Amino acid sequence: MILKENFTLVNGVEIPKLGLGTWFISDNDAVQAVIDAVNLGYRHIDTAQAYQNENGVGKGLKDCGVKREELFVTTKLAAEVKSYDEAVASIDSSLKTLGLDYIDLMIIHSPKPWMEFHSDDSYFEGNRETWRALEEAYEAGKLRAIGVSNFEKADIDNILESCTVKPMVNQILAHISNTPKELIEYCKNNDILVEAYSPIGHGELMKNQEVKTIADKYGVSVPQLGIRYCLQLNTLPLPKTANPAHMKNNAEVDFVISDDDMHVLLNMEQIEDYGEASMFPVYGGKMK
């Protein structure tokens, strides 16, 4: 059962192979979503400062009936935090808001502030400053692992050139019809685990007849196929839902996609329009 399986990060920390994403889940609803997920066997919860639900996630973790050390909690520094002092304050703020003594994984949400996601400014210096604060919190035991999100090769190289602790994770948009193969390969070569957010393409995959045909062939739903696809790429999928029935369905992925079908899915034409999600920078322009 996938919920009992783990990846091992480069520092030896184990991270459950399937996580619950909480983007767009309100602070109030996050409490029950976390409780429901944990009751179904999830042990990996992913939140972010930008989601404005760390407080609710923290309450859910506290009330779920499972020991803290059995749970894996990820949060993300706001994309706008690009200085050492801001990052130090933000890390402590997340610990306080979540109500936790330590966070299992904390990552930089984006190499650039969201409003400048497609700008030419690389923010290399700001990311190095922010990374230094994460390193110190890691060494102090406040964080068990540290990583990045939405980072391209150049962004990661910038960190690798100056860091004392390498990024352990890169969380990126990756799903059937949008699989950044070179970036995934580059991360693997640097011992960086790739986490795949929006493994169902923000719902757009549900409209793809070719994907649906392959899902039908295996007797599974499109979300199940999308999640299994990410797992077979050795990436960690983070499907987002507050619906317990969907949580259960998302975890029932004990089937194997054939090599031929993986090839078809891996080379499928890229989604051009993410519907309502296109207003968000990550979906509004193609990730390289």
pLDDT attached to residue 274: 55
- Res 282: pLDDT: 60
d(CA 53, CA 23): 9
**Model pTM score:** 0.93
**pLDDT for residue 283 is more than 80:** no
Whether the pLDDT of residue 276 is over 70: the answer is no
Q: How confident is the model at residue 279 (pLDDT cuts 50, 70, 90)?
A: low
Q: Which DSSP helix (H) or strand (E) runs through 193?
A: strand 193-197
Task: Write down the catalytic residue from 42, 51, 123, 138.
Answer: 51
Q: For 181-213, how does the pLDDT look when each residue is reduced to its tens digit (9 = 90+)? A: 999 999 999 999 999 999 998 678 888 999 999
At 275 the pLDDT is 60
**79 vs 121: CA distance, rounded Å:** 14
**Predicted local confidence at residue 203, as pLDDT:** 77
All residues at 6 or more sequence positions from 15 whose CB lies less than 8 Å from its CB, including other chains: 6, 7, 8, 9, 44, 72, 104, 105, 145, 169, 193, 236
Q: Could you tell me which of 42, 40, 44 has the C-alpha nearest to residue 104?
A: 44
Confidence (pLDDT) at 143: 98
Position 71 pLDDT exceeds 90: yes
Q: What pLDDT is recorded for position 1?
A: 87
Residue (of 131, 174, 165) closest to 287 by Cα position: 174
CA angle 46, 47, 48 (to 5 degrees): 140
Indicate the range of 13-17, 75-79, 148-152, 198-202 predicted with least confidence.
198-202
pLDDT of res. 117: 78
Instruction: For the beta carbon of residue 37, count every other beta carbon within 10 angstroms.
Output: 26
Provide the pLDDT for residue 288: 27
Residue 105 to residues 196, 280, 286, Cα–Cα distance (Å): 15, 24, 27
C-alpha count within 13 angstroms, C-beta hemisphere, residue 229: 34
What pLDDT digit, counting tens, does each position of 42-65 carry? 999 999 999 999 999 999 999 999
CATH number of 2-269: 3.20.20.100
pLDDT tens digit sequence for 127-172: 999 999 999 999 999 999 999 999 999 999 999 999 999 999 999 9
Q: CB within 8 A of 190, min separation 6: which ones?
A: 156, 160, 166
Give the C-alpha separation, 178 to 283, whole Å. 11
Domain segments of the chain as ranges:
2-269
High-pLDDT (> 90) share of the chain, %: 86
Long-range interactions of 202-206: CB distance < 8 A, separation 24+:
202/274, 202/275, 202/277, 202/283, 203/275, 204/271, 204/273, 204/274, 204/275, 205/175, 205/176, 205/177, 205/271
The answer to whether residue 34 scores a pLDDT higher than 60 is: yes
What confidence score (pLDDT) does residue 61 get?
A: 98
Interval 33-39 mean pLDDT? 98
Say whether pLDDT at 285 is over 50: no
Top pLDDT among 271 and 164 is at: 164
Measured distance CA(230)–CA(30) in Å, rounded: 25
Active site residue 51: yes
- Which parts of the chain fold into alpha helices (H)? 27-39, 54-63, 84-98, 124-139, 153-160, 181-189, 209-218, 222-232, 244-251, 259-266, 281-284
Share of the chain above pLDDT 70, in %: 93
